[in-house]
Amino acid sequence: MRAARYHQYGGVETLVVERVPDPHAGPGEIRVRVAAAGVNPVDWKVRSGAVREVLPVDLPAIPGREAVGVVDEIGAGVRGVGVGDRVFGLGGVTGATAELAVLSAWAHAPAAWTDEEAAGAALASVTAMGGLKVLGPLRGRTLLIEGAAGGVGSAAVEIAVARGATVIGTASQRNHAFLTSLGAVPTTYGTGLAERLAALAPDGVDVVLDTAASGSLADLVAIVGDPARVSTIADHANAQRLGVWVANAENDSTLLAEAGELGGEGRYTPRVERTYPIEQIAEAHAYAERGHTRGKIVVRV
């Protein structure tokens, strides 16, 4: 099969597209013929070697953790999915940006989602749901999402709105119309946030999800008055110091199925900012590293 791969840790120049051996599904796994794969911050952090102490990989490695495709091989013990089904899901830390990928968590992809949308759904949705779950029921509550325009933030906005929350999202001014289209009330981040929130939510903010790790966690705790009402998916160091919930992405088929169900109902559509062919994997990683994305980055395989 063809795959994107890197043979050593380093910059985007280490990425190549080449022929590699086909992977196979083990017990509890499926293999898909990949249509598209998502690009996430973890991909370039792993590739660069920045997180090798906590997420070491065997080199050479294929980047990518999430993909959408048609099932073509089923491992022992797998139920509820058949060869030919279109699914989206998660594999290991690496392995998704290839013609064939092995997934350990998956759900059927809604017919309403394009391949690009489904490719960007898995990691963002399970991360967003994990960060929201610890905050308790959302219906009737006001939720602030710090960093609401990115891949996880935009997923969290739609999921929280679908669950009955009033959502205020922080983003740069250029992304405010985008947040409005998702159902959030936009505002800018940074100095004066508490004052802006007082005007937007006179009865106060109930809970906060931080997706930005911008150094604002202490201010977010002060806004709601209780670290137990704040969760973060990104700022692990300050979360431990402040007593804030930390949510890590889990390969959870149940959460993926919930996201797919919302997608089928038209209440969650993964937002894709840019799509690249696999031959431009280096450009896709370079764009991801620059940050400030609006939704997800996807590679067509």
Round to whole Å and give the CA distance between 131 and 18: 37
Q: CA-CA distance, 244 to 287, in Å (whole number)?
A: 31
Question: Cis omega before residue 60 (within 30°)?
Answer: yes
Cα 178 to its chain centre, rounded Å, is 17
pLDDT (tens digit, 9 = 90+) per residue, 25-36?
A: 999 999 999 999
23 closest CA partner among 3, 40, 42: 3
Q: To the nearest whole number, what is the mean pLDDT of the chain?
A: 96
DSSP sequence for 180-209: HHHTPEEE--STTHHHHHHHH-TT---EEE
Question: pLDDT tens, 83-105?
Answer: 999 999 999 999 999 999 999 99
Strands 100-103 and 30-39: antiparallel
* Span 186-199, average pLDDT: 94
The arithmetic mean of pLDDT across residues 105-133, rounded, is 97
- Nearest residue to 146 via CA among 54, 230, 254: 230
Please report the pLDDT score of residue 301 as a whole number: 96
CA distance 46 to 13: 14
Q: Which amino acid is at 24?
A: H
